[in-house]
Structure 1
Amino acid sequence: MTVEKVCSWVESLVQQAGNVGMIASEDRVYCRNQLLKQLGLEDFLPDAAEKLEADIPHILEKIIEAAVEMGKIEPMLEEKEQLQASLMNIFVPQPSVVNHRFYEKYEKDPAEATDYFYQLSRHSNYIHTKRIAKNIHYQTSSAYGNLDITINLSKPEKDPKEIEKEKQRKKDTSYPACVLCMENEGYGGRIGHPARSNHRLIRVPLERERWYLQYSPYVYYNEHCILLSEEHRDMKIQAAAFRRLLAFVEKYPHYFMGSNADLPIVGGSILSHDHYQGGRYTFALAKAEEDFTFTLPKFPQVHASVVKWPMTALRLQAEDRQLLENASEHVRQIWMSYNDPAREIISHSGEVPHNTITPIARRRGETFEIDLVLRNNRTNEEHPAGIFHPHEEVHHIKKENIGLIEVMGLAVLPKRLETELKGVERYLLGETEAVEEIHRPWAEELKGRYGEINEAEKAAAAVKEETGKKFLQVLEHAGVFKRTEDGLQGLRLFIDALK
């Protein structure tokens, strides 16, 4: 690797940062010199023939490869990511400047403000656009609308050396306390904790508390954002959560905002830091129709309905935000202690709670709307992973928690399925040894249903469709009141308890 090549790529990176509006022409020499310093280069000897006409992630990747080859860093994922974030931090304004620009734009239009911040997060490579592009994504039709299916290929896997190094490292560092803490803003990273040098947060005051807005580094949908508390505290679904969610969508009516449930099994992957997730995307749940309406006598001005959805979702609507907050809390309080033993719904085991809610708030014109998805995390001998959790017969496709994103109709499926589903396709084409044992019963079932398939495209289409059906089954398993005559009877008994 020649110094001339690296200098040319540095210049290409500076040029591209200017092209996307990250820096002004007056900043170019300064940024170039900062990059050279980070890379340990004392001279600037660009080779014009090596100039790259490419986007920022591609140029950055070339520079990182060069840094490894020149011995500036070790060929480990975490060291590469730390250097990437540190290099891109040179182009990103300080938090005060980002927030000032954000709120200047907010005064004109909230959507203009989030557009600015989203593009900054993409251009700075904080959002890993190149890796996200690797994800497999398609839609599959169902009786409840089009469900989104995603196989997550964006998060790179660590090599054994990194895993061993992480094990050997003393676990005596607690700063930042977790990956969601606001102290991650600008943090350089360490073994076992991601680099965040190029990370910025928008200060979003909510209900007399300090909250912060950021985007997910591995966005699963358009403008996938995270709203996090300044205080490192456990997630809790209570009245204050409804107030914050509805206050946020009042300020940012073009975004929805929702929360994972706050209990293990039915909650998200991070329960130790109070946070919500939102974005600018219309999920199948938001499009789902009313199944039937009901009344809440204590809140006659609230329009209440059951949504036609495989999980049990109640939808409340009102123009008065506070009224909707109070109605939501009323439903939560009744559900928290609600028991229906005939349908395996038991609210507590001693002092341990099992019932909770996954809430999702949005605006429809002047109307506030909140979906309250009823959850229960009990286990039993038949279903040790969870009674209202994906059952064993679908674990070959999905056995992880069903969090907010899945609840709304987007399957985030594990990376292993990229190759495993190809094996099922080949099985349908006659290669009987191609399928993994975990999928063999399903593959045999599909072969019985579809017969012999001779075209690869048809086999791929069949597996895609059937994977979508499996995800629908996952959602049905997670529903506390099943969409059967018995389940409907149980749901009506709960609705009666709300009166």
Structure 2
Amino acid sequence: MIFQHIEGLIQKAVEVALIEPGDRIYTRNRVINLLNLESFPENVEAVTADSIPNLLEKMIAYAVENNVIEDVFDEKEILTANIMNCFVARPSDVNNVFWNEYQQSAKAATDYFYNLSKNSNYIQMNRIKKNIHFKASSIYGELDITINLSKPEKDPEQIKREREMKQIVGYPKCLLCVENEGYTGRTGYPARANHRVIRVPLLEENWYLQYSPYVYYNEHSILLAEEHRDMKIDKGAFERLLTFTEKFPHYFIGSNADLPIVGGSILSHDHYQAGNYEFAMTNAADAFSFELSEFTDVSASVLKWPLSVVRLNSDDKSKLLQAADHILQTWRNYSDDSSEVKAFSDDTPHNTITPIARMRDGAYELDLVLRNNRTSDEHPMGIFHPHADVHHIKKENIGLIEVMGLAVLPARLKEELAEIQNFLLGESNDVADYHQEWAGQIMKENGLLSDHAQAERLLEKELGKKFTRVLEDAGVFKERNAFERFIEAINK
């Protein structure tokens, strides 16, 4: 069947314009070499008709069964990426097509690149389909809840190999470096042979656009610096974000904060996240507006949102940048004992911002989410971090994606929620100890349930409540008068 699978993959690649019909023989020969095949039948009957990810899975199964590779996660990943690299154009060609499409429209360019990233299996669509996703109503709007099942668990042999090798290789320096483009991969480091990036000049620097291999929302993309340097939130970062939205007005773009606890998972490489998606925070209403005494050309408001967000809007990018930088500098040095906000512990800074930029009705818009990473004896993981009573659902950092209203919850919850459903239905169950109090409370409020669909809907609703609490914990100002004190500091 391997020949039918190869022909099926080639046919599919032609259909989605990864290759031209004239590339068939060349591409086939590259693929059969990777599978240790020396020849190919003159005629292949019953060509396998399937999706690219499914065809790849069939080919990898053949490779394992025929000892081309061992049945180890990294070897399978590397071969999969190497096979698809036979179908993906060189980086310069991909960039040329992208910028040619850009002459038609920015959306045409990103549509081309997004489809390429999916068709080349760099974006792992089969794995992403495994994620559980639903909407949950809240007083702040419709929140997105995702239980992340797309990242496969490592098998015991993979873990053993990583322990045995323990080699320190400094290339690429991290998962976000531009040097990952086309990198074969190794034990403990992901395969990127089929990975391509788009060069996007910003403020006299080269930045590179790519899509996340595990997209959490539509066109989930990453913009990374050419230089491997720490993340930094400053006026330059704000300007890059706004300049990017000029180039790609159909995308929002934002940055994780640049401090531990409130920052993202990778603080060692300057990068932003973008995409073509409207989060709940995008459409959040104003709680109240206020004047910026020094920046009358910039409208300002505080959002009705669980985190503490200042929204700025202006037709004048320069004035908007000045206002945003002034708010950042004020916040960096701002303390308010009654809100438990402290700017520094000795020389250690605690205040920073998670910024999000977009174009709205032809004007520039910048959301500044105030963050503080201080800890205390009562909250050792962070005062403005999910508190202990919600850790059974989420205790990881609240980064950019969560800030905007999309929960990325751990895979363990799939099985754990199933046990809670059984409990609510009066069936045999094994509810985890850390869920016992929550499950008991839901039962007390709703009684014994009799319908599985009802139990599922109820748990989705309750998860939404928990995520709302997670976000509220991360808000630095719990009351309007606390926010107004900060606004007074801005306007001094």
TM-score, with normalisation over the residues of structure 2?
0.99
Query: Within 5 Å, which residues of 2 pair with 1:38-437?
Result: 38-45=34-41, 48=44, 50-431=46-427, 433-437=429-433
Distance in 2 between residues matched to 1:98 and 1:425, nearest whole Å: 48
Task: Report the Cα offset of residue 62 of structure 1.
Answer: 0.2
Gaps of 5+ in 2: none
Aligned partner (choices 471, 490, 495) of residue 482 of structure 2? 490
CA separation of 1:47 and 1:450: change in aligned 2, threshold 3 A: farther
Task: Report the Cα offset of residue 434 of structure 1.
Answer: 2.7
Letter in 2 for 1:490: A
Letter in 2 for 1:129: M
Question: Which residue number in structure 1 is paired with residue 22 of structure 2?
Answer: 26
Task: Report the Cα offset of residue 9 of structure 1.
Answer: 0.5
Task: Report the Cα offset of residue 431 of structure 1.
Answer: 3.1
SS in 1 for 2:70: coil
Distance in 1 between residues matched to 2:448 and 2:112, nearest whole Å: 52
Task: Report the Cα offset of residue 47 of structure 1.
Answer: 7.8
Distance in 2 between residues matched to 1:50 and 1:173, nearest whole Å: 45
Query: Within 5 Å, which residues of 2 pair with 1:450-469?
Result: 450-469=446-465
Task: Report the Cα offset of residue 364 of structure 1.
Answer: 0.8
Task: Note if contact 1:258-1:404 (Cα within 8 Å) is conserved in structure 2.
Answer: yes
Task: Report the Cα offset of residue 170 of structure 1.
Answer: 3.4
Which digits, 9 at most, give the CA deviation of each residue in 1:318-338, with x for residues without a partner?
011121111111100000000
SS in 2 for 1:141: strand
Task: Note if contact 2:3-2:44 (Cα within 8 Å) is conserved in structure 1.
Answer: no
Letter in 1 for 2:489: A
SS in 1 for 2:146: strand
Task: Note if contact 1:6-1:46 (Cα within 8 Å) is conserved in structure 2.
Answer: no
Question: Which residue number in structure 2 is paired with residue 477 of structure 1?
Answer: 473
Letter in 1 for 2:312: L
Letter in 2 for 1:496: E
Distance in 2 between residues matched to 1:50 and 1:477, nearest whole Å: 58
Distance in 2 between residues matched to 1:47 and 1:162, nearest whole Å: 39
CA separation of 1:439 and 1:329: change in aligned 2, threshold 3 A: same
Which digits, 9 at most, give the CA deviation of each residue in 1:360-397, with x for residues without a partner?
00001220001000000011000011100000000000
Distance in 2 between residues matched to 1:418 and 1:46, nearest whole Å: 48
Letter in 2 for 1:212: Y
How many residues are aligned here? 491
Distance in 2 between residues matched to 1:19 and 1:108, nearest whole Å: 23
Distance in 1 between residues matched to 2:173 and 2:238, nearest whole Å: 26
Distance in 1 between residues matched to 2:211 and 2:484, nearest whole Å: 39
TM-score, with normalisation over the residues of structure 1?
0.97
Distance in 2 between residues matched to 1:417 and 1:165, nearest whole Å: 28
Task: Note if contact 2:354-2:371 (Cα within 8 Å) is conserved in structure 1.
Answer: yes
Gaps of 5+ in 1: none
Distance in 1 between residues matched to 2:307 and 2:58, nearest whole Å: 46
SS in 1 for 2:295: coil
Task: Note if contact 1:185-1:196 (Cα within 8 Å) is conserved in structure 2.
Answer: yes
Distance in 2 between residues matched to 1:248 and 1:12, nearest whole Å: 39
Instruction: Give me the CA root mean square deviation.
Output: 1.0
Is 1:443 the counterpart of 2:435? The answer is no
Task: Note if contact 1:8-1:47 (Cα within 8 Å) is conserved in structure 2.
Answer: no
Distance in 1 between residues matched to 2:167 and 2:403, nearest whole Å: 34
Letter in 1 for 2:482: G
